[in-house]
Structure 1
Amino acid sequence: MTRMGDLLGPEPTLLPGDIAAEDALDAGENPTAVAAAHPSASVAWAALAEEALNDGRTITAYAYARTGYHRGLDQLRRNGWKGFGPVPYAHEHNRGFLRCVAVLARAAESIGETDEFQRCLDLLDDCDPAARAQLGLS
Protein backbone atom coordinates (compact mmCIF):
# COMPACT_ATOMS: atom_id res chain seq x y z
CA MET A 1 0.00 0.00 0.00
CA THR A 2 1.39 3.41 -0.91
CA ARG A 3 1.51 6.50 1.27
CA MET A 4 -1.21 8.13 -0.83
CA GLY A 5 0.84 11.05 -2.10
CA ASP A 6 2.76 12.10 1.03
CA LEU A 7 6.19 10.49 0.88
CA LEU A 8 7.18 11.93 4.27
CA GLY A 9 3.93 11.10 6.02
CA PRO A 10 3.09 8.05 8.07
CA GLU A 11 2.41 4.66 6.56
CA PRO A 12 -1.27 3.89 5.92
CA THR A 13 -3.09 2.35 8.86
CA LEU A 14 -4.57 -1.02 7.98
CA LEU A 15 -6.99 -2.34 10.56
CA PRO A 16 -7.06 -6.08 11.20
CA GLY A 17 -10.86 -6.12 11.18
CA ASP A 18 -13.23 -8.25 13.19
CA ILE A 19 -13.57 -11.37 11.08
CA ALA A 20 -16.30 -12.93 13.23
CA ALA A 21 -18.47 -9.80 12.97
CA GLU A 22 -17.78 -9.43 9.25
CA ASP A 23 -18.62 -13.09 8.61
CA ALA A 24 -21.83 -12.81 10.65
CA LEU A 25 -22.97 -9.76 8.67
CA ASP A 26 -22.01 -11.43 5.38
CA ALA A 27 -24.11 -14.43 6.43
CA GLY A 28 -27.12 -12.13 6.85
CA GLU A 29 -27.25 -12.06 10.63
CA ASN A 30 -29.17 -9.21 12.22
CA PRO A 31 -26.81 -6.22 12.70
CA THR A 32 -28.25 -5.61 16.18
CA ALA A 33 -27.23 -9.10 17.26
CA VAL A 34 -23.82 -8.71 15.62
CA ALA A 35 -23.19 -5.37 17.38
CA ALA A 36 -24.25 -6.90 20.70
CA ALA A 37 -21.90 -9.84 20.21
CA HIS A 38 -19.06 -7.71 18.81
CA PRO A 39 -19.45 -4.22 20.31
CA SER A 40 -15.98 -3.08 19.26
CA ALA A 41 -16.61 -3.88 15.57
CA SER A 42 -17.19 -0.64 13.65
CA VAL A 43 -18.55 -2.65 10.74
CA ALA A 44 -21.52 -3.77 12.88
CA TRP A 45 -22.26 -0.20 13.95
CA ALA A 46 -21.93 0.93 10.33
CA ALA A 47 -24.54 -1.64 9.27
CA LEU A 48 -26.89 -0.46 12.02
CA ALA A 49 -26.32 3.21 11.16
CA GLU A 50 -26.90 2.71 7.45
CA GLU A 51 -30.05 0.70 8.10
CA ALA A 52 -31.41 3.38 10.45
CA LEU A 53 -30.59 6.19 8.03
CA ASN A 54 -32.27 4.33 5.16
CA ASP A 55 -35.35 3.88 7.36
CA GLY A 56 -35.52 7.61 8.13
CA ARG A 57 -34.39 7.21 11.74
CA THR A 58 -31.81 9.98 11.54
CA ILE A 59 -31.09 10.43 15.24
CA THR A 60 -30.72 6.69 15.72
CA ALA A 61 -28.39 6.57 12.72
CA TYR A 62 -26.39 9.43 14.18
CA ALA A 63 -26.03 7.59 17.50
CA TYR A 64 -25.02 4.29 15.88
CA ALA A 65 -22.55 6.05 13.57
CA ARG A 66 -21.04 8.00 16.46
CA THR A 67 -20.57 4.76 18.43
CA GLY A 68 -18.91 3.05 15.46
CA TYR A 69 -16.77 6.10 14.82
CA HIS A 70 -15.44 6.07 18.39
CA ARG A 71 -14.89 2.30 18.32
CA GLY A 72 -12.98 2.81 15.07
CA LEU A 73 -10.83 5.56 16.56
CA ASP A 74 -9.92 3.18 19.38
CA GLN A 75 -8.94 0.51 16.85
CA LEU A 76 -6.96 2.96 14.74
CA ARG A 77 -4.99 4.17 17.76
CA ARG A 78 -4.27 0.60 18.88
CA ASN A 79 -2.87 0.01 15.39
CA GLY A 80 -0.47 2.95 15.40
CA TRP A 81 -2.57 5.80 14.01
CA LYS A 82 -1.63 9.08 15.70
CA GLY A 83 -4.72 11.06 14.74
CA PHE A 84 -3.56 11.73 11.20
CA GLY A 85 -2.36 9.85 8.19
CA PRO A 86 -3.89 7.56 5.60
CA VAL A 87 -6.68 5.14 6.42
CA PRO A 88 -7.30 3.75 2.93
CA TYR A 89 -10.79 2.81 1.84
CA ALA A 90 -9.25 0.16 -0.43
CA HIS A 91 -8.37 -1.87 2.68
CA GLU A 92 -11.63 -3.67 3.41
CA HIS A 93 -11.20 -3.74 7.19
CA ASN A 94 -10.96 0.08 7.29
CA ARG A 95 -14.39 0.42 5.71
CA GLY A 96 -16.46 -0.07 8.86
CA PHE A 97 -14.87 3.01 10.41
CA LEU A 98 -15.09 5.04 7.19
CA ARG A 99 -18.72 4.02 6.65
CA CYS A 100 -19.52 5.23 10.17
CA VAL A 101 -17.93 8.60 9.41
CA ALA A 102 -19.97 8.85 6.20
CA VAL A 103 -23.28 8.08 7.96
CA LEU A 104 -22.38 10.50 10.72
CA ALA A 105 -21.81 13.16 8.05
CA ARG A 106 -25.15 12.46 6.39
CA ALA A 107 -27.06 12.44 9.66
CA ALA A 108 -25.34 15.62 10.87
CA GLU A 109 -26.18 17.39 7.62
CA SER A 110 -29.77 16.18 7.86
CA ILE A 111 -30.26 17.74 11.31
CA GLY A 112 -28.46 20.96 10.40
CA GLU A 113 -25.25 20.26 12.31
CA THR A 114 -23.07 21.82 9.64
CA ASP A 115 -19.86 21.97 11.70
CA GLU A 116 -19.99 18.22 12.39
CA PHE A 117 -20.86 17.54 8.76
CA GLN A 118 -17.77 19.45 7.62
CA ARG A 119 -15.54 17.77 10.24
CA CYS A 120 -16.64 14.38 8.95
CA LEU A 121 -15.94 15.35 5.34
CA ASP A 122 -12.53 16.68 6.34
CA LEU A 123 -11.75 13.47 8.23
CA LEU A 124 -12.73 11.35 5.23
CA ASP A 125 -10.55 13.49 2.97
CA ASP A 126 -7.64 13.22 5.41
CA CYS A 127 -8.04 9.44 5.68
CA ASP A 128 -8.36 8.81 1.96
CA PRO A 129 -9.12 11.40 -0.73
CA ALA A 130 -11.06 8.73 -2.66
CA ALA A 131 -13.22 7.68 0.31
CA ARG A 132 -15.99 10.26 -0.16
CA ALA A 133 -16.69 9.15 -3.71
CA GLN A 134 -16.60 5.48 -2.67
CA LEU A 135 -19.11 6.24 0.09
CA GLY A 136 -21.44 8.30 -2.08
CA LEU A 137 -20.53 11.71 -0.66
CA SER A 138 -19.39 14.47 -2.98
Structure 2
Amino acid sequence: MTSFGDLLGPPPTLLTGDDEAESELLNGAAPAAVAAGSPTASIAWAYLAEAALDRVNGSAAADEAPAAAVEAYAYARTGYHRGLDQLRGHGWKGYGPVPWEHQQNQGFLRCVGALARAAKIIGEEDEYLRCLDLLGDCDPRAAAEVGLV
Protein backbone atom coordinates (compact mmCIF):
# COMPACT_ATOMS: atom_id res chain seq x y z
CA MET A 1 0.00 0.00 0.00
CA THR A 2 1.34 3.46 -0.84
CA SER A 3 1.50 6.22 1.71
CA PHE A 4 -1.64 7.76 0.18
CA GLY A 5 -3.84 4.67 0.40
CA ASP A 6 -3.68 3.47 -3.22
CA LEU A 7 -3.26 -0.31 -3.11
CA LEU A 8 -2.50 -0.55 -6.84
CA GLY A 9 -0.29 2.50 -7.20
CA PRO A 10 3.48 2.60 -7.14
CA PRO A 11 5.26 2.69 -3.81
CA PRO A 12 6.49 6.05 -2.51
CA THR A 13 9.77 7.27 -3.92
CA LEU A 14 12.25 8.12 -1.18
CA LEU A 15 15.32 10.03 -2.29
CA THR A 16 18.64 9.49 -0.57
CA GLY A 17 19.46 13.20 -0.63
CA ASP A 18 22.87 14.77 -0.23
CA ASP A 19 23.74 14.62 3.45
CA GLU A 20 26.90 16.70 3.05
CA ALA A 21 25.13 19.53 1.21
CA GLU A 22 22.23 19.49 3.67
CA SER A 23 24.63 19.60 6.61
CA GLU A 24 26.56 22.50 5.09
CA LEU A 25 23.35 24.47 4.57
CA LEU A 26 22.14 23.79 8.10
CA ASN A 27 25.51 24.96 9.39
CA GLY A 28 25.20 28.30 7.59
CA ALA A 29 27.22 27.72 4.43
CA ALA A 30 26.41 30.01 1.52
CA PRO A 31 23.83 28.26 -0.68
CA ALA A 32 25.65 29.32 -3.86
CA ALA A 33 28.85 27.68 -2.61
CA VAL A 34 26.92 24.53 -1.71
CA ALA A 35 25.21 24.45 -5.13
CA ALA A 36 28.58 24.93 -6.85
CA GLY A 37 30.13 22.11 -4.83
CA SER A 38 27.09 19.81 -4.99
CA PRO A 39 25.17 20.79 -8.14
CA THR A 40 22.90 17.73 -7.95
CA ALA A 41 21.61 18.74 -4.49
CA SER A 42 18.11 20.13 -5.08
CA ILE A 43 18.05 21.51 -1.56
CA ALA A 44 20.82 24.01 -2.39
CA TRP A 45 18.87 25.24 -5.42
CA ALA A 46 15.75 25.52 -3.26
CA TYR A 47 17.61 27.78 -0.82
CA LEU A 48 18.79 29.97 -3.70
CA ALA A 49 15.34 30.16 -5.32
CA GLU A 50 13.60 30.96 -2.04
CA ALA A 51 16.13 33.71 -1.25
CA ALA A 52 15.50 35.27 -4.67
CA LEU A 53 11.74 35.07 -4.07
CA ASP A 54 12.24 36.81 -0.73
CA ARG A 55 13.92 39.66 -2.61
CA VAL A 56 10.94 39.87 -4.97
CA ASN A 57 8.54 39.99 -2.05
CA GLY A 58 9.60 43.21 -0.47
CA SER A 59 13.28 43.47 0.15
CA ALA A 60 14.29 44.31 -3.44
CA ALA A 61 13.79 47.72 -4.98
CA ALA A 62 10.92 47.79 -7.45
CA ASP A 63 13.30 47.83 -10.42
CA GLU A 64 15.16 44.78 -9.05
CA ALA A 65 12.06 42.61 -8.53
CA PRO A 66 11.77 41.36 -12.15
CA ALA A 67 15.43 40.27 -12.16
CA ALA A 68 15.01 38.52 -8.81
CA ALA A 69 11.90 36.72 -10.12
CA VAL A 70 13.79 35.46 -13.17
CA GLU A 71 16.69 34.44 -10.90
CA ALA A 72 14.29 32.52 -8.67
CA TYR A 73 12.76 30.84 -11.71
CA ALA A 74 16.18 29.76 -12.99
CA TYR A 75 17.36 28.42 -9.63
CA ALA A 76 14.08 26.59 -9.03
CA ARG A 77 14.06 25.11 -12.54
CA THR A 78 17.63 23.85 -12.04
CA GLY A 79 16.78 22.22 -8.71
CA TYR A 80 13.59 20.78 -10.17
CA HIS A 81 15.48 19.12 -13.02
CA ARG A 82 18.24 17.83 -10.74
CA GLY A 83 15.50 16.38 -8.53
CA LEU A 84 13.78 14.74 -11.50
CA ASP A 85 17.09 13.08 -12.38
CA GLN A 86 17.34 11.71 -8.85
CA LEU A 87 13.72 10.57 -8.77
CA ARG A 88 14.15 8.70 -12.04
CA GLY A 89 17.33 7.16 -10.66
CA HIS A 90 15.24 5.87 -7.75
CA GLY A 91 12.70 4.23 -10.08
CA TRP A 92 10.09 7.00 -10.30
CA LYS A 93 8.27 6.87 -13.65
CA GLY A 94 6.80 10.37 -13.62
CA TYR A 95 3.94 9.53 -11.28
CA GLY A 96 3.39 8.19 -7.82
CA PRO A 97 3.98 9.44 -4.32
CA VAL A 98 6.99 11.54 -3.38
CA PRO A 99 6.15 12.13 0.29
CA TRP A 100 6.94 15.48 1.88
CA GLU A 101 7.50 13.78 5.24
CA HIS A 102 10.66 12.12 3.87
CA GLN A 103 13.16 14.92 4.52
CA GLN A 104 15.37 14.08 1.54
CA ASN A 105 12.40 14.64 -0.82
CA GLN A 106 11.92 18.19 0.43
CA GLY A 107 14.63 19.80 -1.71
CA PHE A 108 12.87 18.66 -4.88
CA LEU A 109 9.41 19.57 -3.60
CA ARG A 110 10.61 22.99 -2.41
CA CYS A 111 12.06 23.61 -5.88
CA VAL A 112 8.70 22.75 -7.46
CA GLY A 113 7.01 25.16 -5.06
CA ALA A 114 9.53 27.92 -5.78
CA LEU A 115 9.14 27.32 -9.51
CA ALA A 116 5.38 27.68 -9.14
CA ARG A 117 5.72 30.98 -7.27
CA ALA A 118 8.27 32.37 -9.71
CA ALA A 119 6.18 31.27 -12.71
CA LYS A 120 3.16 33.04 -11.24
CA ILE A 121 5.18 36.24 -10.73
CA ILE A 122 6.46 36.33 -14.30
CA GLY A 123 3.01 35.51 -15.69
CA GLU A 124 3.61 31.94 -16.78
CA GLU A 125 0.23 30.62 -15.64
CA ASP A 126 0.50 27.24 -17.40
CA GLU A 127 3.78 26.46 -15.63
CA TYR A 128 2.29 27.59 -12.31
CA LEU A 129 -0.64 25.20 -12.75
CA ARG A 130 1.62 22.32 -13.85
CA CYS A 131 3.70 22.79 -10.71
CA LEU A 132 0.61 22.79 -8.51
CA ASP A 133 -0.56 19.58 -10.19
CA LEU A 134 2.84 17.98 -9.73
CA LEU A 135 2.93 18.88 -6.05
CA GLY A 136 -0.57 17.45 -5.59
CA ASP A 137 0.39 14.26 -7.39
CA CYS A 138 3.59 13.87 -5.36
CA ASP A 139 1.95 14.52 -1.99
CA PRO A 140 -1.45 16.15 -1.40
CA ARG A 141 0.09 18.09 1.52
CA ALA A 142 3.11 19.41 -0.41
CA ALA A 143 1.53 22.61 -1.76
CA ALA A 144 0.61 23.70 1.74
CA GLU A 145 4.06 22.76 3.06
CA VAL A 146 5.75 25.03 0.49
CA GLY A 147 3.32 27.87 1.19
CA LEU A 148 1.17 27.75 -1.93
CA VAL A 149 -2.20 27.22 -0.23
TM-score over 0.5 (shorter chain):
yes
**What displacement does 1:130 show?**
0.6
Deviation of 1:2 after TM superposition, in Å, equals 4.0
Select the structure of larger CA radius of gyration: 2
Q: Does 1:120 align with 2:131?
A: yes
In structure 2, what residue type is equivalent to 1:70?
H
Unmatched runs of 5 consecutive residues or more in structure 1: none
The aligned length equals 138
What TM-score, normalized to structure 1? 0.98
For the 8 Å contact 1:3–1:9, the answer to whether it is kept is: no
TM, length-normalised to structure 2:
0.91
The CA distance in 1 between the partners of 2:40 and 2:129, in whole Å, is 25
Counterpart-to-counterpart distance in 1, 2:5 and 2:51: 34
Alignment match, 1:40: 40
| Alignment pair present for 1:109 and 2:120 | yes
Within 5 Å, which residues of 2 pair with 1:34-113? Answer: 34-56=34-56, 57-113=68-124
Instruction: List gaps (5 residues or longer) in structure 2.
Output: 57-67
Q: Is residue 115–residue 131 contact of structure 2 (8 Å, CA) maintained in 1? A: yes
1:55 is displaced (CA, Å) by 1.0
User: Which residue of the partner structure matches residue 8 of structure 1?
Assistant: 8
